[in-house]
Amino acid sequence: MKNKITVVGAGNVGATAAQLIAYKELGNVVLVDIIEGVPQGKGLDLLESGPVEQFSGKILGTNDYKDTANSDVVVITAGVPRKPGMSRDDLIGTNAKIVKSVVEQITKHSPDTILIVVSNPLDIMACLAKQVSGFPKNRVIGMAGVLDSTRFRAFIAEELNVSMEDTQAMVLGGHGDSMVPLPRYSTVSGICIEELIPKTRLDKLIERTRKGGGEIVALLKTGSAFYAPGASAVQMVESIIKDKKRILPCAAYLEGEYGIEGLFVGVPVKLGSNGIEEIIEIKLADEESNSLKASADAVKKTLSELKI
């Protein structure tokens, strides 16, 4: 296969992403981790599922960044996950050191790659990845909006007892409790959900979406979500690798769009072979716009705590 996709971090999110990339035959997979044996073991195990799952393509587990050379896309999941009672922002100190060292190694061996950052706190780690790599803004993308939207979509579909595939949703803003689900831009087969779900129920779904990650952390107790985060990152990989030009909510570096400057914040973008090919500016009502600005302010505040 001609594409090469590296996943850094062979933990829950990374291994899930690697599995989906392999099963969807998006490219050869390199799985990297700092722990000896884990990426090799998981890589081999995944490879051995090939005859049953009927995929072709190579899978390499490694601790050596030389093996990642010339990757087309790199998904960064290295870092620690949340435990109950923690916010994503509580991970900043530990994960900043990890993400910095990962990005230094990756960019040395793949100077032209596209980075998809998954490690939390997401908007801050994406900003750090841009700073450390020196990459242009189209080649550093944060995975958050696809995840927040898929959670919202799942809750809408469950509420209405309709197919998930007909359910679309848009969630903008930072990847935290201040995120901005937009019911006006969320639909079931083109019908706005505001016409289908009474306001009191809709408010509950929005609140559940905002706290969706925390709900899973509270249940798991020893870590955070990984099926939906892994799948969301791979949807972004697929749009880039196949140049699908999908419009997906992603954390993008903004330079004045939506009145936000110098921050990574979730907005709708076009994802193709050049990474972020366009930032789509949708018209927001005053209340929506104010919520987005408040969310960006929360990201800015956390960013000010970043010390590297």
Enzyme catalytic residues? 175
Nearer to ligand APR, 14 or 61 (CB): 14
CB of 190 to ligand APR, least distance (A): 32
Residue showing the smallest CB distance to ligand APR in the complex = 11
CB of 273 to ligand APR, least distance (A): 25
Helix (H) or strand (E) holding 244: none
Q: What is the contact surface with ligand APR in residues (CB under 6 A)?
A: 8-14, 32-35, 38, 77-82, 91, 95, 98, 101-102, 118-120, 223-224, 226, 229
Count CA within 13 A, CB hemisphere, residue 274.
9
CB 125 within 8 A of CB 89: no
CB 120 within 8 A of CB 94: no
Count CA within 13 A, CB hemisphere, residue 194.
6
Nearer to ligand APR, 193 or 233 (CB): 233
Nearer to ligand APR, 183 or 213 (CB): 213
Cβ neighbours for 268, distance < 8 A, ≥ 6 positions apart: 145, 170, 172, 247, 248, 249, 279, 280, 282
CA distances from 29 to 61, 142, 149, 221, 232 (A): 8, 20, 26, 30, 17
CB of 63 to ligand APR, least distance (A): 8
Structure tokens, 76:
């960064």
Nearer to ligand APR, 44 or 192 (CB): 44
Place of tokens 């005859």: 51
CB 233 within 8 A of CB 13: yes
Nearer to ligand APR, 98 or 154 (CB): 98
CB of 282 to ligand APR, least distance (A): 27
Measuring CA to CA, which residue among 124, 133, 131 is closest to residue 90?
124
Phi, psi (deg, nearest 5) at residue 306? -75, 120
Detail the DSSP E strand segments found in the chain: 4-8, 28-32, 59-62, 73-76, 114-117, 140-142, 167-168, 171-172, 180-181, 187-188, 191-192, 246-255, 261-272, 275-279
* Residues 194, 187: Cα–Cα separation, whole Å: 8
CB of 78 to ligand APR, least distance (A): 4
CB of 50 to ligand APR, least distance (A): 22
Measuring CA to CA, which residue among 67, 66, 76 is closest to residue 103?
76
